[in-house]
Amino acid sequence: MDPTGLRGMPAEEQQRLARRLRDAGEDFLAERFGDAHVILRPLASRYAAVAEVQELFGLTLYRLGRWTAASHRLEQYEAMTGAVDQLPVLADCYRALGRLNDVHDVWDRLRHADPDAQTITEGRIVAAGALADEGRPRDAIRLLEAGPLRPKRPKEHHLRLWYALADLYDRVGDLQRARRGFARIADTEPGFVDVADRLAALGTGDTGQQGTPK
């Protein structure tokens, strides 16, 4: 844990806090978000200066759909650490709350911060979703098309980007590109969310060259 929030805390209390955080982290990873919340709620109040507590509590609240509370905790985490790794989650909270201008502000901060590839891609997906919410699907498509469409070794965030882009192609009536995008996901990870159903709904059509979402 970051020692900044632990100053003056007895070693025994630090160890107890670390154990409780570890328990909550295990619940979170197992998707027992209610159990994680039970552990974290009193910790977040008592240890308001411990960034790791605020971060995990914010992520837990996010997974529980408590957007306002989650955004407050993640804002605290960013203010304490200056870290940008949870900005996509914060932006998604804002999007769920209809705070689309705040989503764009977060995206602007994120893209100038030079984060890791996964973080910038997740932020791009949320920013594109906000543009689509504003009735600007073509702008959303252009934003996603500027992302990593052809990685050598696709990871989950690449699949999420491809899915968001294929979904937007479908929404604007570009069915050929939508089929290609969903087909590429199916070729890479057949069980990814509802991609098989999306392909079935689009029909076979002429998908052209596989593996190219454009």
pLDDT in tens, 155-170: 999 999 999 999 999 9
Give the type of residue at 115: P
If one compares 211 and 184, the residue with the highest pLDDT of the two is 184
Tell me the mean pLDDT in the region 58-62. 98
Mean pLDDT value of segment 81-99: 97
* Res 212 pLDDT > 50: no
More confident residue, 172 or 210: 172
- Which domains, from first to last, does the chain contain? 1-82 (1.25.40), 84-147 (1.25.40), 148-214 (no CATH)
Mean pLDDT within 83-112: 97
Nearest C-alpha neighbor of 164 from the set 151, 146, 152 = 146
Segment of 2-6, 7-11, 116-120 carrying the highest mean pLDDT: 116-120
Place 2 in a pLDDT band, splitting at 50, 70 and 90. low
Give the residue, 174 or 1, on which the prediction is more confident.
Answer: 174
Residue given tokens 């909270």 in the structure block = 93
- Does pLDDT of 204 surpass 70? no
Give residue 7's pLDDT.
63
Cα gap 34→50, rounded to integer Å = 21
Q: What average pLDDT score do residues 143-150 get?
A: 95
Average pLDDT, the chain: 92
Q: What mean pLDDT do residues 80-84 have? A: 94
Quick one: pLDDT at residue 5? 61
The angle subtended at Cα 127 by Cα 212 and Cα 170, nearest 5°, is 45
Structure tokens at 24: 């909550």
Report the alpha-carbon distance of residue 174 to residue 21 in Å, rounded. 47
Instruction: Kindly state the average pLDDT of the residues 87-98.
Output: 98
